[in-house]
Structure 1
């Protein structure tokens, strides 16, 4: 394992792969990755290891970890000392931090470790609600900034992407905005147990997401609060294998009770979420029998009457095409423009040019954007995909050059 640096101020982004999501019950961590970033968001190091949970591995079709690999992996107590050093004096970052922090604290508790001071943590999913206007899944947030997320559901991939997402937020808000938070992170008490060898995955198979997972990544936010968003994120974890175990049901109920979500709100979230799934499924103009079966299965899991789905899939949802960017299209002072791709002129030059006309250049695609300018208007980048989802026009660099040079 790469040597661990001395404690210093900065961020430590973590991601767990787990047997399930009931941290306080029988589920366990089976993989962790930690990414260090400087206060300005620059990534400086990454560590990862499998963890032997001493039980079955849960949904192996999702995380792709085999029992053969786990047999050689350390138990959590064997990585605790190094993990504590990696987190010491740093703000702990995670996407849906409620999930990862609960597993971190549960596993540390089983290892009989007490940090001496509280962890200082921040959630990029919650940040996205502020900075991206409702995007919630890691895939959706990464698409808004064109951050690569190839090989999701591996702790190292998800942690790295989350750290890059954090860096994008830091860059867009300014380092001074984070100074107070960074100053709250203190040194953690050392762990007295023995240090084991970390064991990273070696055989990583290509992951092919299912139809359901592909549309889950594109579902718009249907929540009205951070707590609702975290509940929906837990629901999404259940949906991937189209099965809701009794342990998962208990965990969802426990989360709703802990956060004070009333039954009516939960039922509304289920209905709205299913409606959003159906709309995304219709995006290509057709719903196959397999897709229809998946949607009905989701309805049953969410206890939404199947008739609602049957009615929804019987009639195509009207897909509104993005408006064409013609000569009549005009940018006004205060409008937001997003640039993507390698252009002939430096991006900084275009940003300066836009500022001179009172136009705001932003790094991420949100619903507030008026226009996306791409090196290739047919781009398949995450930013271009988000623009099409939101109905935002996409133009080439020449469109800008004709009007603002």
Structure 2
């Protein structure tokens, strides 16, 4: 009878190329009883927008299916049912736009569906129009905002409240009859599994486990490509899901086995240990940093102890640490905090150049989410340009400032 929909999106306007990032559909019978629920994240193939609101990360969304893979299942769930949403104008607009990208039209709009927000004017005349306010006025419990499945459940509960007071048949009976006859496109149902929120929080196996397991071999200069990528990846002392994929792909391309990669990780850690002991003093902060890098590389505190002991006895060649220099070009992407404008002023103050597009001359991309799927992030990965968080970037600015001061005192 009814299909209650709620969406989370990258923004508010399809005309600005905003996309769906999460969709939930709760189906009800004629009395408002729940028949089933379905929800999935959607890969928008672009930047995720206001992540501080919807809370969806790039690591989650990048593993989710794109809308085209879900379109058949969505159409199947909505066909023959009266589509309901709280602010149907918004949800219908995004559904029409997403199906439109596939070259099909769907019978979803404000005139052919049911909007629980508009119905509040009749059933809850004193309430403001938000879903939370309507539920409160109806005596229904609060729900979790900015999450599609709780939102769809909340709107379904509000519809059930309206149905109890609407009489039989309800005023929208003709709309429901028309919805049963409406023509929906027949699209292939791919059978792709829905991807729920939080799936990325279940810690993935270390990326080393994805490499071929064989005995180490004599490494050739091509291994430097892996070490160079590793250096860029570890700039912010975090290996994002995208960066893990890059490391695995690079290892595969140059023929590194798991044992080869582990050998290179030990070599890299030894180089960091040599840097830390260059002044003959190991500070607590340096030890903490070495322990953190070791964990990211699949190594242990015991490996750090050995690297430090070896560096003290027979120093390894220190790794050349990546750093920003005056004149380097930096690009920013995503809903940044502090805002992009502030970060750009900081960059200029420190002698850096800023740009809005990534080119091969770009030295660094600063992203709200290291797993960003924005166009500039995709290009940065293609060009091998490091992507870091704002926190890591500001630490680099401090290092740049310190290096400049040291140069002036020499």
TM-score range, shorter chain: 0.3 to 0.5
Q: Which has the larger radius of gyration?
A: 2
